[in-house]
């Protein structure tokens, strides 16, 4: 149940952050599918990483985000900063869920 909750929260978080970072993606309705695919990709990568514990989850989340940000056309520096920031936020959310 905890894993399912984490997946749902993570998908919502990614969806909102992608919207905040690039709201132009959402002006065209066809792009909703792209964002859902990217969110699903990140959650899948993170699930595989979570098999290796918290550290694996954090590292795989950051790598997944890096791939997504590059796919959206961001430069490497911006993608790394955003990935690390969201990875940290995600880690905090997962720890809070685990603590509840």
pLDDT tens, 56-82?
766 776 777 777 777 777 777 777 777
Share of the chain above pLDDT 70, in %: 46
Q: State the pTM of this model.
A: 0.50
CA distance 31 to 28: 6
Q: Output the pLDDT for position 75.
A: 73
Half-sphere exposure of 61 (CA within 13 A, CB side): 30
Q: Output the pLDDT for position 100.
A: 47
């Amino acid at each position: 149940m905890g894993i399912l909750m984490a997946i749902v929260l993570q998908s919502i978080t990614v969806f909102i952050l992608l919207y905040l970072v690039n709201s132009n993606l959402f002006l065209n309705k066809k792009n909703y599918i792209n964002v859902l695919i990217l969110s699903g990709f990140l959650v899948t990568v993170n699930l595989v990483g979570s098999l290796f514990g918290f550290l694996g989850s954090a590292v795989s989340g950051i790598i997944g985000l890096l791939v997504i940000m590059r796919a959206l056309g961001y430069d490497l520096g911006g993608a790394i900063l955003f990935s690390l920031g969201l990875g940290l936020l995600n880690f905090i959310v997962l720890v809070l869920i685990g603590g509840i």
